[in-house]
Chains A and B, each alone.
Chain A
């Protein structure tokens, strides 16, 4: 099946630093989404991207849908302790189920 390569697998950063993570695929998607998962909870949608080249922000978060439709990145600016969690990218083609990356575990050191 389709696979998404998400990197890095984990990150340890100082509070206040910017964070960048990305996802690549061998297949094209027409929707890219980014989710965050807190411990003991299900993933929660952060940003959805629907068009190649689209750049979307949600507060300190910015995500882009790659022009080739095979990649996406998520940036977090000025990280704070509550940014800790696992971040997942997900891609979708048409009406098929979402395919998820393996996640990036973010730890923030105060």
Chain B
């Protein structure tokens, strides 16, 4: 079982404050992703990483930045939180081995409320 941990699990923050969410994996996977989940929208990609210091934007990247300074950690930062960023945030890792792609393994999510 791929070890992937998100922290915090829940957070309430005020509009305009910076927030950082952390995703930690224990198995040295190269690809990591941040998605947000909202009713009626499913899962939408925010940013992803394909290696240390290698990141790219997803479909809904405005207002978010990411950093990956080591393989095991992928951080998502909301520079100045807005109410529209109230959502459930999921981190995922791409799991593959011996030429077989096993899809993504997801963390348990962070429920963020911006008030």
Binding site for B on A (CB under 8 A): 1, 6, 31, 33, 35, 40-45, 48, 50, 88, 90, 97-103
Contact = CB atoms under 8 A, between A and B. Distances in A.
Interface size, B (range): 20 to 34
Given A31-B101, A88-B43, A97-B45, A42 B59 contact: no
A1 B45 CA distance: 11
Contacts, number: 49
Interface of B: 33, 35, 40-45, 48, 58-59, 90, 92, 101-109
B43 A40 contact: no
B42 A102 contact: yes
Summarize B's interface: helix, strand, loop or mixed.
strand
B94 to A, nearest CB: 9
Contacts of A1: 59
Contact of B42 (A42, A48, A88, A97): A88
B108 to A, nearest CB: 5
B108 A97 contact: no
Contacts of A97: 33, 45, 48, 58
A48 B96 CA distance: 12
A44 B106 contact: yes
A101 B42 contact: yes
Nearest to A2: B59
Contacts of B107: 42
Contacts of B41: 102
A1 B42 CA distance: 14
